[in-house]
Amino acid sequence: MTMEKPKIGFIGTGVMGKSMADHLLQAGYPVSIYTRTKSKAESLLENGATWEDSVASLSRKCSIIITIVGYPQDVEAVYFGSAGILENVQAGSYVIDMTTSKPALAQRIFSEASKKDVQALDAPVSGGDIGAKNGTLAIMVGGEQTAFDAVLPVFQVMGSNILLQGPAGAGQHTKLSNQITIASNMVGVCEAISYAKKAGLDPSLVLDSITTGAAGSWSLSHLAPRMIRGDDAPGFFVKHFIKDMKIALESAQEMGLATPGLALSLQLYEELAENGESDSGTQALIKLFSK
């Protein structure tokens, strides 16, 4: 006898969330959707997802609730208050926040969920639009081992590198480490391409040489070609990267850690946003170097 798959509630169907929810549908999970803009969920509804018109009604009907929204204040809005997830979710359920957010907020959700006999995990992801589409995201998880084991099959539908990093908040701290790495790397990628062009080289050919050596990185392999083509379409929005870097900088400062590379990258991305590029992909940073 095959076990019936648990009903999953999915809140947030942006660049990443839409593909992630679609993978769950394709894997045979019953999926209910709530998002502020219903039109963003149309393709998922056509593929068999069920629409819920509020966070509260979705929370009452699903035993696993996944959120991937924009900012920490959005996370707070969907989890707390009388119309939020934690007031309406059934005991014994699982709530998984996959937004990149504050470690302290993840700990607060975990604490409040525990009082309701609900297991909470913070599980931010990396891999951009490509990883979401291919189901190969890195998923960095904070929370209890028992909760992690219970929802691992769900994570395996959306990602390929899935690790429990520690207690509540550890997933967010890991993602911030990821964003700190990318921050300085993106500056390096932009400088390298700009240098290759100034030297009269074909930047695509230069990439063929340098992506396989010690300089190799995901950003160099996947975002540098977009930079060269002038393709600013967002795999990850500039505005969301700025949000992540601010959280990382704040968190580092709280721990008394100096992060000069992160600080410089944030300053450059804020300049880019002031130039009207908030909704562009992070690869648009090259524009600051090719003036």
- Rounded CA-CA distance 207/220 in Å is 8
243 is a catalytic site residue? no
What are the residue ranges spanned by the domains of the chain?
Answer: 8-168, 173-289
Give the torsion sign (CA, 127, 132, 137, 142): positive
Beta bridge partners of 64: 8, 94
Question: CATH classification of 8-168 is 3.60.40.10, yes or no?
Answer: no
Give the torsion sign (CA, 139, 140, 142, 143): positive
Residue located via tokens 């909760």: 147
DSSP, res 3: P
Residue type, 125: V
Residue located via tokens 């990850």: 236
* CATH of span 173-289: 1.10.1040.10
Predicted confidence at residue 18, as pLDDT, reads: 95
- Rounded CA-CA distance 95/98 in Å is 10
The pair of structure tokens assigned to 74 is 């959005």
Residue 71 reports pLDDT greater than 60: yes
Residue located via tokens 């929005």: 237
User: pLDDT (tens digit, 9 = 90+) per residue, 218-247?
Assistant: 999 999 999 999 999 998 899 999 999 999
Residue located via tokens 């890991």: 174
Residue 2 reports pLDDT greater than 70: no
Q: Is 31 within 8 Å of 49 (Cβ atoms)?
A: yes
User: pLDDT (tens digit, 9 = 90+) per residue, 73-92?
Assistant: 999 999 999 999 999 999 99
* pLDDT band, residue 277 (cuts 50/70/90): very high
What average pLDDT is seen over the chain?
96
Residue located via tokens 């993978």: 23
Q: What does the pLDDT average to over 34-50?
A: 94
Residue 291 reports pLDDT greater than 80: no
Quick one: what percent of the chain has pLDDT higher than 90?
Answer: 92
User: pLDDT (tens digit, 9 = 90+) per residue, 95-137?
Assistant: 999 999 999 999 999 999 999 999 999 999 998 888 999 999 9
Strands 125-126 and 137-142: antiparallel
Quick one: what percent of the chain has pLDDT higher than 70?
Answer: 99
The pair of structure tokens assigned to 33 is 């959707």
Rg (CA), the chain: 20
Q: Which of 175, 239, 287, 291 is catalytic?
A: 175
Q: What does the pLDDT average to over 182-186?
A: 97
**111 CB-near residues (< 8 Å, 6+ apart):** 168
Residue 1 reports pLDDT greater than 60: no
Tell me the whole-structure pTM to 2 decimals: 0.93
